[in-house]
Structure 1
Amino acid sequence: MTSSSNQDIHHAAARAALGVPGVAALQPGLADRLAAAASRAKQAVGAAPLPAETGIRAEHTPEGGWHLEVRCAVHEDRRVLDVAQQVRERVRTAVTAHLAQHGTAAPVTVLVTVTRTV
């Protein structure tokens, strides 16, 4: 049995969320923005830019599962509720499948926050 890293979970969730029609972008939270501001000097010397999965927050639950929070911007011509429901379902499905592939089946809950429309 292999273990999935937090980064792998972030990647799987970001790919799934960005694949939902109507999602314009993932939005970083305050902690991500502060980290990006602090790393501007690192970026000036060639460090990688802020990754797309900064709109994803993943935590291991005490019960051994995963809780994910997805922050996204939605195109204004889409119904926000429909897009949020699709994001929640696709992210849950993608992360559950990723965990199963790595022999670590665990319950996955997803909370989606639409931060703005564009």
Structure 2
Amino acid sequence: MAARAALDAPGVAALQPTLADRLALAAFPVHRAKAAGAAPYHEAAGIRCEPTADGGWHVEVRCILHADRRVVDVARQLREDVRTAVAAYLARHGSAAPVTVTVTVTSTV
């Protein structure tokens, strides 16, 4: 749901790493250990979620934006859209918790 909210935000071209990057990483043993549950967080392409000490969640979004949009405007909207989506998901599953979101823009196209 975080990835869908991020991709639906106006001005977002893609999440980083892209599928090609993910496939390349799959060949490394560290990545396989992470995928097997050895890591304390779940990561989808461009999204990393981890629990916080206060019982909430921190979501990191890495993305590529369209060059014709102001980065700061897109990042602000993206942060709010992802925070809202994750908070709604948690509430629907009986686990209302604080959600923080960090947006990192890796490039523009």
Q: Percent identity?
A: 67
- Gapped regions of structure 2 (runs ≥ 5): 30-43
Equivalent residues of 1:28, 1:56 under 8 A apart: no
Q: Aligned equivalents of 2:51 and 2:93: distance in 1?
A: 16
- Gapped regions of structure 1 (runs ≥ 5): 1-11, 40-52
Q: Which residue of the partner structure matches residue 14 of structure 2?
A: 25
Look up the SS of the partner of 1:115 in the other structure.
Answer: strand
Per-residue CA distance 1:41-84 (angstroms, 9 max, x = gap): xxxxxxxxxxxx31001001111100010000000001100000
Superposed CA RMSD: 2.1
Q: Which residue of the partner structure matches residue 15 of structure 1?
A: 4
Per-residue CA distance 1:10-56 (angstroms, 9 max, x = gap): xx110100001110000029xx57633439xxxxxxxxxxxxx3100
The partner residue of 1:63 within 46, 54, 57 is: 54
The partner residue of 1:111 within 102, 105, 108 is: 102
Q: Which residue of the partner structure matches residue 101 of structure 1?
A: 92
Look up the SS of the partner of 1:98 in the other structure.
Answer: helix
Look up the SS of the partner of 2:17 in the other structure.
Answer: coil
Q: Aligned equivalents of 1:65 and 1:33: distance in 2?
A: 30
Q: Which residue of the partner structure matches residue 38 of structure 1?
A: 28
